[in-house]
Amino acid sequence: MNALDELKQHLKPGQVYRRSDLLQWSNAVDRHLKLLVKDGTLYKVSQGVYACPKKTSFGKAAPEDYKLVEAFLKTDDFLLFSSNTYNALGVGTTQLYNEQLVYNRKRHGKFKLGNRTFNFQMKPYFPKELSKEFLLVDLVNNVKKLAEEQDAVLERVSQVAANMDSSSLKNDAQLYGGVRAKKLFASIDNKTVIHAA
């Protein structure tokens, strides 16, 4: 078995690899990478990051977004979601967005990984997993970037918040909220409706 075939045995469909990951199995990693990309075993996702596609009845399937981001950042310390998730909160947002948000502590900016665009935003604090309370706080943080009319959305936020776990909501507002979110969620107990500034 030649060195290239030996390297191929270590590659798993659906996984994403950094160039440095392959050094343990290859003594000519750059030459091998060129050959693996040429024969379709791997494809380049971004500088130094390669994916091994899964074969399906519809052709080759890209790896999960989470794996792409994890390899790109070299860490699992990030929160990945889409602004489309706001639409499930029932606050009147319906716009569809064609990129994934990545809250993280290392990179900032829009990056194309494979054929997907990811919007990396550096944040000092974010939860490990999404919750409705966090999403509501995050929506208020980003309300100016949304396509919908701010006053109407914020009014609905107050109504939706009244039916959520108030201690989780206040906690998330304190941890992750900007000035407007902190004010809005502190006022909800007083049944005050906050309008856009």
Q: What is the pLDDT of residues 86-128, one digit of tens each?
A: 999 999 888 888 889 999 999 999 999 988 899 999 999 999 9
135 — pLDDT class (breaks 50, 70, 90): very high
Report residue 3 as tokens: 């060195």
Q: How far is 57 from 37, CA to CA, in rounded Å? A: 21
Residue type present at position 157: V
The residue count for the chain: 197
Q: What is the rounded average pLDDT of the residues 157-178? A: 91
Predicted pLDDT of residue 197: 41
Structural domain including 95 reads 67-190
Is residue 23 in some structural domain? yes
Domain count, the chain: 2
Q: Is the pTM of this model over 0.75?
A: yes
Residues 15, 72, single domain; the answer is: no
Q: Do residue 97 and residue 152 come from a single domain?
A: yes
- Cα angle vertex 63, ends 82, 1, to 5°? 165
Please tell me whether residues 48 and 81 are part of one structural domain.
Answer: no
Domain identity same for 80 and 49 = no
| Residue at 86 is within a domain | yes
pLDDT of 85 reads: 93
**195 in a structural domain:** no
pLDDT mean over 59-77: 91
